[in-house]
């Protein structure tokens, strides 16, 4: 079954921008959703659902993990967030407006954010040769970082 990703939402700048987009698409601005979106804006990093849940639970311990996952799915459908699969770990989430590619070290699991331009040749070659549209935001290129190669 093939799944195409939605286009990215307009670049949202604030928590209120995201909640307005949610409401404009028929969703509700719940307390749990506000806390989750705030965590995404506060921590400028790739976070797992469990890490995001820990941030939400610090303020509202009654929010269930299933609520976090459901909200992450809805936010991704709206194009607000994107997720990436690391080589050996759970999916991580980040704001889509901060889109970039990922390099993940197989030895230390360090993730290096790289500009989309790094993947231009790969994207072009996959399209021209195989008719395949590569989305560098979704997956990560695995290898070994400079520090691990030196050891």
Give the residue ranges of DSSP H helices in 25-115: 31-42, 49-59, 65-77
Q: Residue 140 in contact with residue 100, Cβ under 8 Å?
A: no
pLDDT at residue 129, rounded to an integer: 96
pLDDT at residue 57, rounded to an integer: 96
Per-residue burial over 73-98, b = 16 or more CB atoms within 10 Å of its CB, e = otherwise: eebbebbbbbbbebbeeeebbbbbbe
Phi, psi of 85, rounded to the nearest 5 degrees: -100, 125
- The whole-number mean pLDDT for each consecutive block of 10 residues of the chain, a chain of 151 residues, reads 46 86 93 95 85 96 96 92 76 77 84 82 93 78 89 62
Cα–Cα distances in angstroms (integers) from residue 42 to residues 36, 62, 80, in the given order: 10, 21, 15
- Domain annotation for the chain: domains and CATH numbers: 15-82 (1.10.10.10), 100-149 (3.30.1490.190)
């Amino acid at each position: 079954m093939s799944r195409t990703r939605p286009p990215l939402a307009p670049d949202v700048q604030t928590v209120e921008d995201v909640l307005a987009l949610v409401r404009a698409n028929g969703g509700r601005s719940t307390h749990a959703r506000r806390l989750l979106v705030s965590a995404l804006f506060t921590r400028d990093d790739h976070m797992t659902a469990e890490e995001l849940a820990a941030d939400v639970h610090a303020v509202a311990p009654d929010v269930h993990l299933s609520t976090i996952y459901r909200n992450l799915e809805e936010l991704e459908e709206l194009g607000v967030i994107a997720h990436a699969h690391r080589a050996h770990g759970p999916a991580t989430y980040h704001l889509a407006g901060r889109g970039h590619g990922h390099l993940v070290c197989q030895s230390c699991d360090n993730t290096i954010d790289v500009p989309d331009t790094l993947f231009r040749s790969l994207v072009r070659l996959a399209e021209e040769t195989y008719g395949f549209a590569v989305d560098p935001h979704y997956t990560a290129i695995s290898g070994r970082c400079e520090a691990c190669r030196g050891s």
